[in-house]
């Protein structure tokens, strides 16, 4: 028992194992939230509402087979579709984003598949036309929390999130922007193809209604995703400290970020101090604040958002 306690308190456990455990827990919790948003809200709506990514494509393919081709579809179709069509995207994530990111995404894909096909739906009382807007907003909220929360912890819900992450990493733009562009296509196709047809719910809904409610869902999800996930938003940080050397050594060795030093003087005390100037990704702020507090408990930290960064600034994968 003492050995176990010592191991848990060790630096190796805190710096290497604990972050991975936190990410695994995060991907499980946020995937369940995502699955609830799709299964209990979007799938429960009498108006066809589409989520994004591979599940959204799966919903669209299923509805086309049912409404256009009059095919009987297994209740497990969506889960199987998600598993199969995520395979090439996971390969892209493995080689184009990071191995850890892809492993966490695999965990999410498996949980997501079971949530959408093998876990019974809970009736939220939204199966009527007057509740379609509530289903779109609440479903979009939960989907945004699930996708954004997973990305924030260095994981994803798989599918087009991986493609968006890959493009965001290469181009440096918002993940939410790419996801929204991909998902709007699904919404428009759903409205064009399913609109006016007797949907799987047995009721014909116009294409404009389907596309409009789905786009509302997309907007809500995109806003929440970008609010929660900040890996590709940047901050400039000024740290005024009397221990610049120790802090700079920690930043260079642990965050791998360049640092600029400026000599400053307090107007009241006239004591000479050093201002450490650094540009970071927003998700690195917590680590930087911890280092500053550790090296100098009296340090003064000021942050401000940065819209663009040009020059020698390394964009890192988040896991």
| Domains observed in the chain | 2-228 (no CATH), 234-306 (3.30.70.120)
Min mean pLDDT across 6-10, 185-189, 218-222, 300-304 is at 6-10
Q: What is the DSSP letter of 276?
A: E
- What pLDDT score does 263 carry? 95
pLDDT tens-place string over residues 286-312? 789 888 998 999 999 999 988 778 877
Average pLDDT over residues 2-24: 76
- Torsion sign across C-alpha atoms 156, 47, 224, 178: positive
User: What's the pLDDT tens digit per position in 162-190?
Assistant: 877 777 666 655 555 666 777 888 889 98
Q: Residue by residue, what is the 3-state secondary structure of 71-111?
A: CCCCCCHHHHHHHHHCHHHHHHHHHHCCHHHHHHHHHHHHH
- pLDDT value at position 178? 66
Q: What is the pLDDT of residues 118-167, one digit of tens each?
A: 888 888 888 888 899 999 999 999 999 998 888 777 777 887 778 777 77
The confidence score (pLDDT) of residue 123 equals 86
Query: Given a cut of 80, is residue 3 above it in pLDDT?
Result: no
DSSP helix/strand/coil, 235: strand
Return the pLDDT at 256. 86
Residue 38 backbone dihedrals phi, psi, to 5 degrees: -75, -50
Using pLDDT thresholds of 50, 70 and 90, give the confidence band for residue 282: confident
pLDDT tens digit sequence for 66-115:
888 888 889 899 999 999 999 999 998 888 878 888 898 899 999 999 99
Q: What per-residue confidence (pLDDT) applies to 259?
A: 94
Residue-wise DSSP of 11-69: HHIIIIIHHHHHHHHHHHHHHHHHHHIIIIIITT-SS----SHHHHHHHHHHHHHHHTS
Residue 202, pLDDT score: 67
- Residues 18-46: tens digit of each pLDDT: 878 888 999 999 999 999 999 999 999 98
């Amino acid at each position: 028992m003492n050995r176990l306690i010592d191991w848990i308190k060790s630096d190796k456990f805190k710096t290497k194992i604990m972050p991975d455990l936190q990410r695994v827990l995060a991907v499980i919790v946020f995937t369940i939230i995502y699955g609830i948003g799709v299964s209990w809200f979007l799938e429960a709506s009498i108006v066809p509402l589409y989520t994004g990514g591979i599940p959204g494509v799966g919903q669209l393919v299923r509805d086309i087979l049912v409404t256009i081709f009059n095919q009987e579809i297994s209740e497990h179709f969506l889960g199987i579709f998600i598993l199969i069509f995520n395979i090439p995207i996971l390969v892209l994530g493995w080689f184009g984003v990071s191995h850890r990111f892809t492993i966490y995404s695999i965990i999410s894909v498996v949980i997501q598949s079971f949530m959408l096909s093998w876990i019974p739906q809970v009736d939220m009382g939204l199966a009527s036309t007057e509740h379609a807007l509530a289903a779109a907003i609440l479903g979009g909220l939960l989907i945004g929390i699930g996708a954004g929360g997973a990305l924030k912890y260095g994981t994803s819900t798989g599918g087009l999130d991986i493609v968006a992450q890959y493009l965001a990493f290469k181009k440096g733009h918002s993940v939410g922007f790419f996801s929204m562009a991909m998902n709007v296509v699904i919404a428009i196709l759903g409205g064009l193809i399913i609109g006016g047809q007797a949907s799987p719910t047995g009721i014909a809904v116009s294409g404009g209604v389907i596309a409009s409610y789905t786009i509302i869902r997309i907007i809500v999800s995109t806003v929440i995703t970008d609010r929660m996930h900040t890996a590709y938003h940047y901050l400039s940080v000024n740290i005024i400290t009397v221990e610049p050397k120790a802090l700079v050594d920690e930043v260079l060795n642990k965050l791998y970020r360049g640092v600029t030093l400026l000599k400053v003087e307090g107007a009241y005390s006239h004591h000479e101090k050093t201002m450490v100037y650094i540009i970071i990704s927003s998700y690195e702020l917590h680590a930087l604040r911890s280092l500053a507090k550790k090296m100098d408990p009296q340090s003064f930290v000021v942050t401000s958002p940065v819209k663009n960064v040009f020059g020698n600034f390394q964009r890192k994968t988040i896991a």
